[in-house]
Protein backbone atom coordinates (compact mmCIF):
# COMPACT_ATOMS: atom_id res chain seq x y z
CA UNK A 1 0.00 0.00 0.00
CA UNK A 2 2.48 2.65 -1.97
CA UNK A 3 1.77 3.87 0.69
CA UNK A 4 2.65 4.62 1.98
CA UNK A 5 4.12 8.06 5.03
CA UNK A 6 7.05 7.46 7.26
CA UNK A 7 9.32 9.87 9.12
CA UNK A 8 12.81 8.94 7.98
CA UNK A 9 15.39 8.73 10.80
CA UNK A 10 18.93 9.98 10.13
CA UNK A 11 21.19 7.50 8.30
CA UNK A 12 18.24 5.41 7.11
CA UNK A 13 15.68 7.80 5.77
CA UNK A 14 12.71 6.09 4.14
CA UNK A 15 9.91 7.47 1.92
CA UNK A 16 6.48 8.00 3.44
CA UNK A 17 4.07 7.38 0.58
CA UNK A 18 3.80 6.03 -2.87
CA UNK A 19 4.86 8.44 -5.63
CA UNK A 20 6.37 8.51 -9.14
CA UNK A 21 9.62 10.53 -9.09
CA UNK A 22 13.21 9.84 -10.06
CA UNK A 23 15.95 11.49 -12.12
CA UNK A 24 18.38 10.68 -14.90
CA UNK A 25 21.40 10.39 -12.61
CA UNK A 26 23.24 13.37 -14.14
CA UNK A 27 26.88 13.78 -13.08
CA UNK A 28 27.29 17.01 -11.11
CA UNK A 29 30.89 16.55 -9.89
CA UNK A 30 34.28 15.88 -11.43
CA UNK A 31 37.97 16.38 -10.62
CA UNK A 32 37.32 20.07 -11.23
CA UNK A 33 34.79 20.20 -8.41
CA UNK A 34 31.04 20.32 -7.97
CA UNK A 35 28.91 21.87 -10.71
CA UNK A 36 26.61 23.99 -8.55
CA UNK A 37 24.48 24.96 -11.52
CA UNK A 38 23.69 21.30 -12.20
CA UNK A 39 23.17 20.65 -8.50
CA UNK A 40 20.63 23.46 -8.29
CA UNK A 41 18.49 21.54 -10.78
CA UNK A 42 17.92 18.92 -8.09
CA UNK A 43 17.42 21.25 -5.14
CA UNK A 44 15.02 23.72 -6.82
CA UNK A 45 11.36 23.87 -5.88
CA UNK A 46 9.56 21.34 -8.10
CA UNK A 47 6.59 22.09 -10.29
CA UNK A 48 3.26 21.16 -8.74
CA UNK A 49 2.95 17.34 -8.78
CA UNK A 50 6.11 17.06 -10.84
CA UNK A 51 6.90 13.48 -11.72
CA UNK A 52 9.82 11.98 -13.61
CA UNK A 53 10.14 8.71 -15.46
CA UNK A 54 11.45 6.42 -12.74
CA UNK A 55 9.42 5.15 -9.78
CA UNK A 56 11.51 4.32 -6.74
CA UNK A 57 8.89 1.88 -5.42
CA UNK A 58 9.62 -0.39 -8.39
CA UNK A 59 13.39 -0.37 -7.77
CA UNK A 60 14.41 -3.88 -6.55
CA UNK A 61 16.83 -2.55 -3.92
CA UNK A 62 14.57 0.17 -2.51
CA UNK A 63 11.44 -2.00 -2.60
CA UNK A 64 13.11 -4.49 -0.25
CA UNK A 65 13.74 -1.69 2.26
CA UNK A 66 10.12 -0.57 1.90
CA UNK A 67 9.02 -4.17 2.63
CA UNK A 68 11.22 -4.33 5.74
CA UNK A 69 9.57 -1.15 7.03
CA UNK A 70 6.06 -2.49 6.30
CA UNK A 71 6.85 -5.49 8.49
CA UNK A 72 8.53 -3.55 11.31
CA UNK A 73 6.13 -3.58 14.28
CA UNK A 74 8.11 -0.95 16.20
CA UNK A 75 6.83 1.84 13.93
CA UNK A 76 3.87 2.97 11.81
CA UNK A 77 6.31 4.23 9.18
CA UNK A 78 5.56 1.73 6.39
CA UNK A 79 2.27 0.18 7.47
CA UNK A 80 0.22 0.74 10.55
CA UNK A 81 0.81 -1.68 13.40
CA UNK A 82 -1.08 -4.97 13.29
CA UNK A 83 -3.36 -3.95 16.16
CA UNK A 84 -4.65 -1.03 14.10
CA UNK A 85 -4.84 -3.12 10.91
CA UNK A 86 -6.94 -5.71 12.76
CA UNK A 87 -9.33 -3.01 14.00
CA UNK A 88 -9.61 -1.43 10.56
CA UNK A 89 -10.32 -4.70 8.74
CA UNK A 90 -12.91 -5.68 11.36
CA UNK A 91 -14.66 -2.32 11.04
CA UNK A 92 -14.66 -2.41 7.22
CA UNK A 93 -16.12 -5.93 7.28
CA UNK A 94 -18.79 -4.80 9.75
CA UNK A 95 -19.75 -1.81 7.58
CA UNK A 96 -20.04 -4.13 4.58
CA UNK A 97 -22.22 -6.52 6.58
CA UNK A 98 -24.52 -3.66 7.57
CA UNK A 99 -25.32 -3.03 3.90
CA UNK A 100 -27.23 -6.31 3.91
CA UNK A 101 -24.36 -8.49 2.71
CA UNK A 102 -22.53 -11.03 4.80
CA UNK A 103 -18.87 -11.51 3.98
CA UNK A 104 -18.21 -13.83 6.87
CA UNK A 105 -21.11 -16.12 6.06
CA UNK A 106 -19.40 -16.89 2.73
CA UNK A 107 -15.94 -17.52 4.19
CA UNK A 108 -16.11 -21.25 3.37
CA UNK A 109 -17.68 -20.71 -0.05
CA UNK A 110 -15.06 -19.27 -2.39
CA UNK A 111 -17.43 -19.30 -5.34
CA UNK A 112 -19.82 -16.87 -3.67
CA UNK A 113 -17.28 -14.87 -1.65
CA UNK A 114 -17.60 -11.09 -2.06
CA UNK A 115 -14.75 -9.56 -4.06
CA UNK A 116 -12.47 -6.89 -2.59
CA UNK A 117 -10.05 -4.69 -4.56
CA UNK A 118 -7.03 -3.67 -2.44
CA UNK A 119 -5.16 -0.76 -4.07
CA UNK A 120 -1.63 -0.25 -2.79
CA UNK A 121 -1.84 -3.61 -1.04
CA UNK A 122 1.82 -3.68 0.04
CA UNK A 123 2.83 -7.03 1.56
CA UNK A 124 -0.80 -8.11 2.01
CA UNK A 125 -1.20 -7.31 5.72
CA UNK A 126 -4.76 -6.10 5.14
CA UNK A 127 -5.46 -8.65 2.39
CA UNK A 128 -4.73 -11.57 4.70
CA UNK A 129 -7.23 -10.31 7.25
CA UNK A 130 -9.85 -9.59 4.59
CA UNK A 131 -9.42 -13.19 3.41
CA UNK A 132 -10.17 -14.42 6.91
CA UNK A 133 -13.32 -12.27 6.92
CA UNK A 134 -14.58 -14.07 3.82
CA UNK A 135 -13.48 -11.81 0.95
CA UNK A 136 -11.75 -12.83 -2.27
CA UNK A 137 -8.98 -10.22 -2.56
CA UNK A 138 -7.32 -8.76 -5.65
CA UNK A 139 -4.34 -6.60 -4.71
CA UNK A 140 -2.37 -4.08 -6.77
CA UNK A 141 1.05 -2.73 -5.79
CA UNK A 142 4.04 -1.46 -7.75
CA UNK A 143 6.67 -2.89 -5.38
CA UNK A 144 8.07 -6.25 -6.57
CA UNK A 145 9.24 -7.23 -3.08
CA UNK A 146 5.84 -6.46 -1.54
CA UNK A 147 3.92 -8.41 -4.19
CA UNK A 148 6.19 -11.44 -3.80
CA UNK A 149 5.69 -11.39 -0.04
CA UNK A 150 1.91 -10.94 -0.30
CA UNK A 151 1.58 -13.76 -2.83
CA UNK A 152 3.62 -16.17 -0.71
CA UNK A 153 1.95 -15.43 2.63
CA UNK A 154 -1.65 -15.10 1.53
CA UNK A 155 -1.43 -18.51 -0.15
CA UNK A 156 -1.10 -19.95 3.35
CA UNK A 157 -4.58 -18.70 4.21
CA UNK A 158 -7.73 -20.71 3.58
CA UNK A 159 -9.19 -17.80 1.61
CA UNK A 160 -8.34 -16.76 -1.93
CA UNK A 161 -6.27 -13.85 -3.17
CA UNK A 162 -4.34 -12.70 -6.21
CA UNK A 163 -1.77 -9.92 -6.51
CA UNK A 164 -0.55 -7.84 -9.45
CA UNK A 165 2.64 -5.82 -9.64
CA UNK A 166 1.18 -2.75 -11.31
CA UNK A 167 0.83 0.97 -10.67
CA UNK A 168 -2.82 1.15 -9.65
CA UNK A 169 -2.95 4.89 -10.35
CA UNK A 170 -2.61 4.15 -14.08
CA UNK A 171 -3.83 0.55 -14.42
CA UNK A 172 -7.18 -0.66 -15.60
CA UNK A 173 -9.13 -2.35 -12.82
CA UNK A 174 -10.80 -5.33 -14.48
CA UNK A 175 -13.56 -7.19 -12.73
CA UNK A 176 -16.56 -6.38 -10.62
CA UNK A 177 -16.05 -5.79 -6.92
CA UNK A 178 -18.19 -5.47 -3.81
CA UNK A 179 -15.58 -3.43 -1.91
CA UNK A 180 -12.52 -1.37 -2.86
CA UNK A 181 -9.88 -0.06 -0.46
CA UNK A 182 -6.97 2.38 -0.76
CA UNK A 183 -5.55 2.54 2.75
CA UNK A 184 -2.77 4.63 4.32
CA UNK A 185 -2.70 7.71 2.18
CA UNK A 186 -2.43 6.41 -1.37
CA UNK A 187 -5.14 8.78 -2.64
CA UNK A 188 -3.16 11.70 -1.19
CA UNK A 189 0.12 11.05 -3.01
CA UNK A 190 -1.08 11.72 -6.56
CA UNK A 191 -2.11 14.78 -8.55
CA UNK A 192 -5.70 16.00 -8.65
CA UNK A 193 -6.16 14.80 -12.22
CA UNK A 194 -4.86 11.31 -11.39
CA UNK A 195 -7.04 11.24 -8.28
CA UNK A 196 -10.16 12.06 -10.29
CA UNK A 197 -9.38 9.43 -12.92
CA UNK A 198 -8.64 6.81 -10.27
CA UNK A 199 -11.85 7.57 -8.36
CA UNK A 200 -13.88 7.18 -11.56
CA UNK A 201 -12.13 3.87 -12.38
CA UNK A 202 -12.87 2.56 -8.89
CA UNK A 203 -16.49 3.64 -9.28
CA UNK A 204 -16.79 1.69 -12.55
CA UNK A 205 -15.12 -1.37 -11.02
CA UNK A 206 -17.60 -1.56 -8.13
CA UNK A 207 -20.90 -3.37 -8.34
CA UNK A 208 -24.08 -1.34 -7.70
CA UNK A 209 -24.20 -0.79 -3.95
CA UNK A 210 -20.43 -1.29 -3.65
CA UNK A 211 -18.29 0.50 -1.06
CA UNK A 212 -15.02 2.41 -1.45
CA UNK A 213 -12.91 2.84 1.72
CA UNK A 214 -9.89 5.15 1.65
CA UNK A 215 -8.06 7.70 3.80
CA UNK A 216 -6.30 11.00 3.06
CA UNK A 217 -3.99 13.44 4.83
CA UNK A 218 -5.13 16.63 6.58
CA UNK A 219 -3.23 19.93 6.84
CA UNK A 220 -2.39 19.02 10.45
CA UNK A 221 -0.54 15.94 9.20
CA UNK A 222 1.52 17.95 6.71
CA UNK A 223 2.33 20.73 9.20
CA UNK A 224 3.60 18.21 11.74
CA UNK A 225 5.28 15.59 9.57
CA UNK A 226 6.85 17.46 6.66
CA UNK A 227 10.62 17.45 6.36
CA UNK A 228 12.79 20.13 7.92
CA UNK A 229 15.83 21.44 6.02
CA UNK A 230 18.84 19.24 6.68
CA UNK A 231 21.38 16.74 5.40
CA UNK A 232 23.21 13.60 6.49
CA UNK A 233 25.67 11.03 5.13
CA UNK A 234 24.85 7.33 4.83
CA UNK A 235 27.93 5.09 4.94
CA UNK A 236 26.45 1.92 3.41
CA UNK A 237 23.26 -0.13 3.08
CA UNK A 238 21.07 2.95 3.25
CA UNK A 239 17.49 3.17 2.15
CA UNK A 240 18.21 4.66 -1.27
CA UNK A 241 21.42 2.84 -2.23
CA UNK A 242 23.81 0.17 -0.90
CA UNK A 243 26.79 2.52 -1.35
CA UNK A 244 27.86 5.70 0.40
CA UNK A 245 25.88 8.87 -0.32
CA UNK A 246 24.88 12.25 1.08
CA UNK A 247 21.20 13.19 1.19
CA UNK A 248 19.78 16.73 1.31
CA UNK A 249 16.21 16.97 2.65
CA UNK A 250 13.62 19.71 2.41
CA UNK A 251 9.88 20.27 1.99
CA UNK A 252 8.15 22.53 -0.51
CA UNK A 253 4.66 23.84 0.29
CA UNK A 254 2.00 24.68 -2.30
CA UNK A 255 -0.73 26.23 -0.10
CA UNK A 256 -3.06 27.16 -2.96
CA UNK A 257 -3.06 23.57 -4.17
CA UNK A 258 -3.19 22.12 -0.63
CA UNK A 259 -0.06 20.09 -1.38
CA UNK A 260 3.46 19.53 -0.08
CA UNK A 261 6.48 17.82 -1.64
CA UNK A 262 9.14 16.19 0.51
CA UNK A 263 12.39 16.30 -1.45
CA UNK A 264 15.35 13.93 -1.09
CA UNK A 265 18.42 14.93 -3.14
CA UNK A 266 21.14 12.27 -3.23
CA UNK A 267 24.83 12.97 -3.97
CA UNK A 268 27.02 9.94 -4.65
CA UNK A 269 30.78 9.57 -4.36
CA UNK A 270 31.23 9.09 -8.10
CA UNK A 271 29.70 12.50 -8.83
CA UNK A 272 26.16 11.44 -9.67
CA UNK A 273 23.07 13.17 -8.32
CA UNK A 274 19.52 11.94 -7.94
CA UNK A 275 16.30 13.28 -6.49
CA UNK A 276 13.05 11.74 -5.23
CA UNK A 277 9.85 13.59 -4.35
CA UNK A 278 7.10 12.34 -2.06
CA UNK A 279 3.86 14.28 -2.54
CA UNK A 280 1.18 14.86 0.08
CA UNK A 281 -2.12 16.32 -1.09
CA UNK A 282 -4.16 17.23 1.99
CA UNK A 283 -7.93 17.71 2.33
CA UNK A 284 -10.73 18.77 4.59
CA UNK A 285 -13.94 16.77 4.94
CA UNK A 286 -16.09 19.02 2.77
CA UNK A 287 -13.66 18.90 -0.15
CA UNK A 288 -13.16 15.15 -0.10
CA UNK A 289 -16.90 14.50 0.14
CA UNK A 290 -17.57 16.83 -2.78
CA UNK A 291 -14.87 15.26 -4.98
CA UNK A 292 -16.07 11.74 -4.24
CA UNK A 293 -19.69 12.58 -5.01
CA UNK A 294 -18.58 14.16 -8.28
CA UNK A 295 -17.29 10.73 -9.35
CA UNK A 296 -20.80 9.29 -8.89
CA UNK A 297 -20.87 8.05 -5.29
CA UNK A 298 -24.10 9.14 -3.58
CA UNK A 299 -23.51 8.71 0.16
CA UNK A 300 -20.08 9.71 1.51
CA UNK A 301 -19.26 9.31 5.22
CA UNK A 302 -16.13 10.72 6.84
CA UNK A 303 -14.31 9.68 10.01
CA UNK A 304 -10.96 10.31 11.68
CA UNK A 305 -9.70 6.91 10.53
CA UNK A 306 -10.82 3.65 8.95
CA UNK A 307 -11.74 2.21 12.32
CA UNK A 308 -14.90 4.32 12.56
CA UNK A 309 -13.57 6.91 15.03
CA UNK A 310 -15.67 10.12 14.89
CA UNK A 311 -13.88 13.14 13.47
CA UNK A 312 -12.22 15.69 15.71
CA UNK A 313 -10.37 18.96 15.07
CA UNK A 314 -6.64 18.59 14.43
CA UNK A 315 -6.68 14.94 13.38
CA UNK A 316 -4.02 13.82 10.92
CA UNK A 317 -6.35 11.71 8.77
CA UNK A 318 -9.78 11.60 7.19
CA UNK A 319 -11.24 8.12 6.69
CA UNK A 320 -13.83 7.95 3.90
CA UNK A 321 -16.61 5.48 3.08
CA UNK A 322 -18.18 6.14 -0.32
CA UNK A 323 -21.31 4.26 -1.41
CA UNK A 324 -22.05 3.52 -5.05
CA UNK A 325 -25.81 3.78 -5.65
CA UNK A 326 -27.80 0.60 -6.31
Q: Would you say residue 123 has pLDDT above 90?
A: yes
- Three-state helix/strand/coil letters over the chain: CCCCCCCCCCCCCCCCCCCCCCCCCCECEECCEECHHHHHHHHCCCCCCCCCCCCHHHCHHHHHHHHHHHHCCCCCCCCCCHHHHHHHHHHHHHHHHHCCCCCHHHCCCHHHCCEEEEECCCCCHHHHHHHHCCCEEEEEECCHHHHHHHHHHHCCCCCCEEEEECCCCCCCCCCCEEEEEECCCHHHCCCHHHHHHHHHHHHHHEEEEEEEEEEEECHHHHHHHCCCCEEEEECCCCCCCCCCEEEEEEEEEEHHHCEEEEEEEEEECCCEEEEEEEEEEECCHHHHHHHHHHCCCCEEEEECCCCCCCCCCCCCEEEEEEECCC
Q: Would you say residue 184 has pLDDT above 60?
A: yes
* pLDDT the model gives residue 156: 59
Its pTM stands at 0.87
Q: What domains does the chain contain, in order, with CATH numbers?
A: 29-55+220-281 (no CATH), 82-219+284-323 (3.40.50.150)
Least confident interval from 53-62, 227-236, 299-308 = 53-62
* pLDDT the model gives residue 27: 61
* pLDDT the model gives residue 269: 83
**What's the pLDDT band for 79 if we cut at 50, 70, 90?**
confident
Share of the chain above pLDDT 90, in %: 62
The mean pLDDT value for 228-236 works out to 91
The mean pLDDT value for 123-152 works out to 93
Amino acid sequence: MLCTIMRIPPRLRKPRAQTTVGSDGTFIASDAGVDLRSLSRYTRKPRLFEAERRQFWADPYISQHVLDTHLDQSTDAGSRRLETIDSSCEWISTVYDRTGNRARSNAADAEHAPRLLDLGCGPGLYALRFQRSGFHVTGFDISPAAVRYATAHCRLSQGSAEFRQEDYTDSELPGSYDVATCIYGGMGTISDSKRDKLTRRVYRALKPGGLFFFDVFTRAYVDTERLREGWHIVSRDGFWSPGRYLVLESSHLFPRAAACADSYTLLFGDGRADRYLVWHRYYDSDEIRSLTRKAGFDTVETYTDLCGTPQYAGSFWIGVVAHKPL
